[in-house]
A = this chain, B = another copy of it.
């Protein structure tokens, strides 16, 4: 393989031990007892294996057993904070199984690469694929056609009802955040959202409107800003606070980046946080947690998405004929930092 002398295989061990391959195979797979192979023989086999630095060949095993023990994991990019945390959740679960490992890939928003990477996963015969939703790609269809369990995380893909998904209950989180603002006496709550090309965040936008309604507040269009892709949040915030009429006394942001922009802009306008304006955001990013930034957030446990996605994949592998599984992660926690009136944290 790497070089040098020949590989050590089960045959090598069998020969060395003066046994048949079969016996060795059973011993090495921990089925010695089951086949009535004497303890002593097993012992000897293990010793020889150790001495010879035997390492089983997964390719051969996969080929023979028609399974790979791999779960494909496909992200657009690993650069953001959340993919990494999702992966940690995945590993929490997969490390326990002993049987499954993630095969992690990213495509950097490049459709050609995406296709290639999916092919890669298929060639390796991954038994399930966990991925973040992207623009509809035909390649996903290929996955389903081969009847490989597909689990979307982060956002659902409504065009693919056959696929499973594990998502945050964003509406619930938004309501919790808005409720906190209302508790703190805010009545003029603005919204700062982002217009991702595929409209993935529609759910958040709608959730905000619903939340206001539930609190008996009106949603003024002037205070409902959807920042376009490529546009800076700063402009949106300035617009929101411009004019001589009433100003918002709170801003709910759907993304941490926008919240950071809002923080800057609001202070630039000479307003004080949280006295004049409160600010709260989804996505409890590291930046929000830093003492000098301290943006209050509705914290959602990203690792839990990973854990549930792993479990979902395993469930689907175990019973391939069950329908799609859809899970919502309801957990969320409002964390008061500098930008809301809380006891801090």
Contacts from A to B (Cβ < 8 Å): 1-4, 7, 53, 55-60, 62-63, 66-68, 77-79, 84-85, 87-88, 91, 95, 101-106, 108, 113, 119-120, 122-125, 127, 142, 145-149, 260, 263-264, 286-287, 290-293, 320-321
Contact = CB atoms under 8 A, between A and B. Distances in A.
11 contacts: A1-B125, A4-B147, A55-B119, A55-B122, A57-B63, A59-B60, A59-B124, A59-B125, A79-B85, A264-B292, A286-B287
Contacts of A2: 127, 146-149, 320
Contacts of A123: 55-58
Given A63-B59, A104-B104, A78 B68 contact: no
Contacts of A142: 53
Nearest to A3: B320
A66 B63 CA distance: 13
Given A53-B142, A142-B53, A290 B148 contact: no
A130 to B, nearest CB: 14
Nearest to A56: B123
A294 B91 CA distance: 34
Give the number of copies in the complex: 2
A320 to B, nearest CB: 5
Nearest to A264: B291
A271 B11 CA distance: 73
Instruction: Name the 8 nearest CB pairs between A and B, nearest first.
Output: A59-B62, A2-B147, A59-B63, A58-B123, A104-B104, A55-B122, A59-B59, A3-B320
Nearest to A103: B103
Contacts of A4: 147
Nearest to A260: B290
Given A3-B321, A95-B113, A146-B2, A79 B88 contact: yes
Contacts of A53: 142, 145-146
A2 to B, nearest CB: 4
A2 B88 CA distance: 26
* Residue of A108, A119, A123 ringed by the most chain B CB atoms within 10 A: A123
Contacts of A125: 1, 57-59
A145 to B, nearest CB: 6
A274 to B, nearest CB: 16
A84 B91 contact: no
A190 B148 CA distance: 58
A77 B95 CA distance: 14
A263 B63 CA distance: 57
Contacts of A55: 119, 122-123, 146
A62 B286 CA distance: 42
Contacts of A149: 2
A127 B59 CA distance: 13
A108 B94 CA distance: 14
Given A78-B84, A84-B78, A58 B124 contact: yes
A3 B320 CA distance: 8
A321 B4 CA distance: 10
Given A56-B123, A293-B292, A84 B88 contact: no
Contacts of A119: 55
A290 B293 contact: yes
